[in-house]
Amino acid sequence: MPFNINHIHLKSRDPGASAAWWVQAFHFTVVRDAVRPTGDRFIACRSENGITVNISGVRTGEALGPGDAGVHEGLEHFGLDSDDLEADIARLTALGAELLVAPPPPSTPPVQRVCFLRAPDHVRIELIQRAPVA
C-alpha cells in the first residue's frame, strides 16, 4: 500500500471562521461539520484538487499553545499554486492574510516566483507561480 498523504489538520480557536476563510480564499468545500465526543468542533474540507484539510477546535480539557507563522522547526508551511501572485496577494490580504515574504519582481525570461503569507490561525502558506512552459 502506498503512503499517500491522507489529510492536513489545522487547529483553530474558531474552526467555523477558519473554514469559512479557506472556502472563500481557496474554494475549499466543507464536507463535514460536527462536534465530536471529545468536545471539539471538527470541520473536514476538501481542496479543489481533492486534498482533505481538517480544521478543529480545542478538545475538552485541552489548551492550544501559541501559533507561529514564522520560519520554524517541524511542519513549517504548505504551498498552493497561483496563476498571478500579485492578484492573489491583494485578494488574500483583503481577506485578512498578512504578507510575510514578498515575491521577487518578475524577470525575463520568466522564472518560478514564490511568496509567503500568514493565513488565519498563524498558518504559514507559500504561493507558487510557476514559470510558463516554453
Question: Which residue's entry shows cell 481542496?
Answer: 47
- In angstroms, the CA 108 to CA 121 distance is 36
Query: Which CATH number fits the domain 7-56, given the four candidates 3.40.50.300, 3.40.50.2300, 3.40.190.10, 3.10.180.10?
Result: 3.10.180.10
At 9 the pLDDT is: 96
Query: Under CATH, domain 78-129 is a member of which superfamily?
Result: 2,3-Dihydroxybiphenyl 1,2-Dioxygenase, domain 1 (3.10.180.10)
The residues, any chain, with a CB within 8 Å of residue 103's CB and separated by 6 or more, are 85, 86, 89, 113, 114, 115, 127, 129
Contact (Cβ atoms closer than 8 angstroms) between residue 16 and residue 58: no
- Render pLDDT for 13-63 as a digit per residue (tens, 0 to 9): 999 999 999 999 999 999 999 999 999 999 999 999 999 999 999 999 999
Cα angle: 50, vertex 95, 73; to 5 degrees? 65
